A and B are shown apart, each in its own frame.
Chain A
Amino acid sequence: MSKNILVDARNTYCPGPLMELITYMRQADVGDTLELLSTDEGTVDDVPEWVNKIGHKIVSSEQIDEAWHIKICKLK
């Protein structure tokens, strides 16, 4: 059964949101959805670039208050 995994990378600079996402993505199973929370403006470009290159899927991306919420489905 697929899981929803929250990755709270708000207000962090090192290792940073994308590195956090990669960490949790490696632990996740195919079909799981990861929701990344980030206050780093660059995340909205950085994350889709990696996700598309590696072949996962961006489910949604929206800004709520000061944080970006990006949902990614692990496809492989």
Chain B
Amino acid sequence: MKKILVIGGGTGGSIVANNLSRQLSAKIRDGEVDITMLSASDKHMYQPGLLYVAFGEMMPDELYRDQASLLESSINFHVDPVEQFKLDENWVKTKSGKTYDYDILVIATGSRVMPNKTPGLSEGAHSFYTEKGAVELFKGLRDFEGGKLAIVVGVPHKCPIAPVEFTFALDQYFKDRGIRDKVEIKYHYPINRIHSIENVAKWAKPEFDKMGIEYETLFNVEEVDVENKIVKSMEGSEYKYDMLVSIPEHHGMPVIEDNDLGQNGWIPTDRHKLTMNGHDNVYVIGDTTNLPVSKTGSAAHFEAESVATNIASIIKIGTPVTEYDGKVMCFIEAGHEATYAKFDYLNPPDLKTPNKAMHWLKMSYNKMYWTSVRGLL
């Protein structure tokens, strides 16, 4: 029997497991293949929804489903996080003390925010990257009656489009409340344009100008002086704020670093095969890779499809049949309109003009995600 072990029940892990379950259904039925998933949680969160929670447009409970309900019935699912990887011996050990051996391993453990890496950021800044943070940010915005609101961005961070989306949403939120003229929005970004994707930067800059949003580039947060409400950059500038919102620096999960699988929790990964460097039977997908690809559910989705196809073909005909081409497709919310960016390793994003239809498609996708993560969309 071939044993496939999937570590992590987020977007990437769920799609890879569900796709494999369907592609290998006959072999699972005949006892030739076993798929097991180990996760740290019995719940699955739709993380992009946190942006809407931050503006009171979604409630936190709308973001969750029971993980088991999202998986094909042939997948053995256990809430028992892995603590030890023995890649040379093809087994892992979990928190409960059980060991699981495998023929093929998929690591999809995701990432986490690390505001504590920047002095003062945890205490001085809001963030919408956790449920608690998004709810507190909404309460902070609701109580904000005017003044200087600063946005700062750590490196690396999940969902690179989020800083721009959040800033557009802020403008709309204060307009809707009728106090936009009392709020000074200042956007700070680590590199020398206002978004990493050149086309997004070219489009967003005049939009920011129209909205009266100030921006400063080459601003990498060094520390926050919480008492005096001043945020300082490594490049030597500083800004005095009344309210600070951060997209914090991200790291991979501690179990990856604890097992020396990759610095800061990012596993060195082949950009086309998605195998861990030096381990041909270990695949890495989603945020967990060290690839120069956006850390987004979209990247995890396309990576998972590629990995599932290859694992299934290896089991059926002894060889992989496809390669990951770097594909990512991200919606970009811009107030009550939206657009999208789609790109891969060879083709840059070709940005379309934002429109209301794309916004409603994104709102629909917020519901359709649950079909997507089952591997059906």
Contact = CB atoms under 8 A, between A and B. Distances in A.
B178 interface: no
Interface residues of A, number: 22
A13 B343 CA distance: 8
B292 A12 contact: yes
B197 A14 contact: yes
Contacts of B264: 27
Given A9-B292, A12-B326, A42-B198, A19 B190 contact: yes
A57 to B, nearest CB: 15
A42 B193 CA distance: 11
A12 B324 CA distance: 13
Given A13-B349, A14-B197, A19 B218 contact: no
Contact of A54 (B235, B292, B294, B343): B235
A15 B292 contact: yes
Task: Give the interface SS of chain A, mostly helix, strand, loop or mixed.
Answer: helix
Interface residues on B, range: 20 to 34
B192 A15 contact: no
A65 interface: no
B146 to A, nearest CB: 32
A1 B305 CA distance: 42
A24 B168 CA distance: 29
B346 interface: yes
Interface string A1-26: 00000001101111111111011001
Contact of B196 (A11, A14, A49, A54): A14
Interface of B: 155-156, 160, 190-192, 196-198, 218, 220, 234-236, 249, 263-264, 292-294, 326, 328, 341, 343, 345-346, 348-349
- 6 smallest CB-CB distances across A and B, nearest first, come from A12-B292, A16-B196, A11-B345, A18-B191, A15-B196, A23-B156
Interface of A: 8-9, 11-20, 22-23, 26-27, 42, 46, 49-50, 53-54
